[in-house]
Amino acid sequence: MPIPDEVTGDEIDRSVRQELLSLPKTLAVDVARNLVMVANLLDEEPERAYAYSRVALRLASRVGAVREAAGFAAYGVEKYAEALTEFRAARRMTGSVHLWPIMADCERGIGRPERALAMAGEPEVQQLDKAGQIEMRLVAAGARRDLGQPDAAVVTLECPELASTAVHPWTARLRYAYADALLAVGREEEARTWFAKALDADQGGVTNASDRLAELDGVEFVDALDPDLDDEDGIEDEEDEEPRQA
C-alpha cells in the first residue's frame, strides 16, 4: 500500500523502535512506516489502518509491537476474535499486562461477557496502573449490562475514583459510564447530575455528555446547514412578508 514520502518511520515511539532493531535495517524502516500509518489512521479511517496493519504483520509477525498494532487495528473494525488473537500474541511476546482490559472487551465483542467478568477478577488486574484498572472496571460494567444485570453494572462503577474531585484522563469516561448505567435503571435525575459531571471533566471531547444532557432536558438541535430546512424557512418567510409599497 502506498505511504506518503513524508512518513519516515522515525515518528514511532522509542520503545517500538527498540523492538524493531531485531530486524534488518531496511525491513525495520518498512515496518515502522506501516505502523505510523496505522497510528495516523486508526481513529478516522479504521479500515485503511487495518490494511496497513496487515502489511506490517506480514513483514514482522514476530515483533510484539506489530502484533499489538494489528490487534488495535482489528479491534477498530470490530474483528474482535482476530484482535484477541493478536493481543494474546503480543502479551506472550512482551509479558506486559497492559492489554488485559481490551482483551476482556474483545471477549465481550465475541459474545462472551462472562469471560470478561472472569478476567476482571484475575490477578493481572492488580498489576495494571490506575488507568488500566479503571478501564477494566468499565469493561466489567459493560459485561454486566450484556448479561442483563444493569443494577450490578451501577455497583461495579461505584468506586473511590468516581467520587474524587481530581480530574484524570479517564475521569470523564468513568463518570459518563456511571451516568449511562444510572439512566438504564431509571435513576434519571442522578444520571443527569453525572452526565453534567462528565461534561465538566471532558476536556478532550471524548464523550457526548453534552448531547445526553440536552436529550434529558428535551432540547432539540437544528442543523443550520440543512438545505431542506433552509427551503422550508424560505417558503415561510415569503408567505409572511408584507407586500412592498410602490
If phi > 0 it is left, if psi is from -120 to 50 it is alpha, else beta; for residue 205 that is left
Q: What's the CA gap between 242 and 222, in Å, rounded?
A: 27
pTM for the whole structure: 0.84
Between CA 179 and CA 190 the distance in angstroms is 7
- What pLDDT tens digit does each residue of the chain (246 aa) get? 899 999 999 999 999 999 999 999 999 999 999 999 999 999 999 999 999 999 999 999 999 999 999 999 999 999 999 999 999 999 999 999 999 999 999 999 999 999 999 999 999 999 999 999 999 999 999 999 999 999 999 999 999 999 899 999 999 999 999 999 999 999 999 999 999 999 999 988 999 999 999 999 887 656 556 666 555 555 444 445 444 443
Q: How far is CA 148 from the centre of its chain?
A: 23
* Contact (CB, 8 A) for 101 and 117: no
Nearest-angstrom CA–CA distance, 67 and 57: 7
DSSP 6-33: T--STTS-HHHHHHGGGS-HHHHHHHHH
